Structure 1
Amino acid sequence: MKTKVLFVALVGALFVTTACSGETPPPAPPATVTVTPTPPPSVGPDAKTVAWLDGMCGAIFGYVKANNEHASKQSSGVEVTRTWLSENLGVRADLTGKVVDELNALPASPIPGGDAAKKSLVDSYTTARDAAAEGKRKLDASKSQSALDAGLKALDAAQKPLTETTDPFASVKMDTPEIKAAVAAAKKCVPGA
């Protein structure tokens, strides 16, 4: 009890001394408040980015899958005839044309460099589509051996996207956490899915 009284007496004396001295106490130094921003809650990958990636991957891997299915229906040791070649050129023109249409239907890329990657793919598949369609047209219009040879070259040109498109995003920087999350969520970017 004595300690409480002594403490109250000291506080009172301090108050009286400060109040009666006529001097204003020095201002307190400004307080510095450090605010640590809290990261925004994780809401998952950006839906537009995931949809764009799915569109790109779906077009490319869809082509590979359809091409492989078509090739698996071919018997081994097939004799290359005009009919066979014309049919195969038509199939290649259709498959590559579908990729071009799907890629052209995509909106602007939400990923830096994505539009350039898409354009490169569109150019490659357009060249393949046009080669197959023109090769078929010439083959069907002529009975000459040179038309058959040209058709075989067109078939080779129509299949270039299969050998050239190993990674459609090779030129795109995919190193931010947001883009990595979007890639992981893009189901069509898993080959064979």
Structure 2
Amino acid sequence: MFDFQSNESYMAHYLLDKLEGIEIGGSLHNPFCLNTINVDFTNETTIYKQHENKLSNGSFLKVDVIASGDNLPFNNETYDFVISSHAIEHFYDPIKTIKEWLRVIKIGGYVFMIIPHKELTFDKAKNRTTLNELLKRHKNPDPNFVDNHVHHNVWITEDVVELCKNQNWKIVKVSDRDDKVGNGFIIVIQKL
């Protein structure tokens, strides 16, 4: 099992120090310590906030903006980056979500994602989410879909690389093991 009292990410600091950005679903027990505003879908107590509370001695990271991560209330090209740790897998349509993150960052900016690795998390027994499934969800969203904020996507590094190539997103960094908790991988996209 991994220690969720994690380190900061050297790669995130290398790319994002001195920039301004958005963190999607930030948490006090897993800080990036960057110049970000924290966007979360709710300010209410969820199972994720309960977990954060337990690991952070009764504290929570302040939510600055309440909004769904796939529908951000910011103008185009406002920030230098969007960063997330263990968040993109919770979105039913990650293509829509990443497009939204790219929309709000400036040209040359970054989308920095730490994504749970199927083989290193409780998702190990689940089937991987295929590119065809993602394309189908994006093209024909299920009108009856109810978001219960679980892992809608299960990946290994190569799966997300394949998605990025399919969408013509420029990958600038890939790491098969993240440098924070160690149970995920890193994909960094740069907006052209």
TM superposition score normalised by structure 2: 0.23
Q: Specify which structure has the higher proportion of strand.
A: 2
The structure, 1 or 2, with the larger RCO (C-alpha pairs under 8 Å, 6+ apart) is: 1
Q: Which one has the largest radius of gyration?
A: 1
Q: Specify which structure has the higher proportion of helix.
A: 1
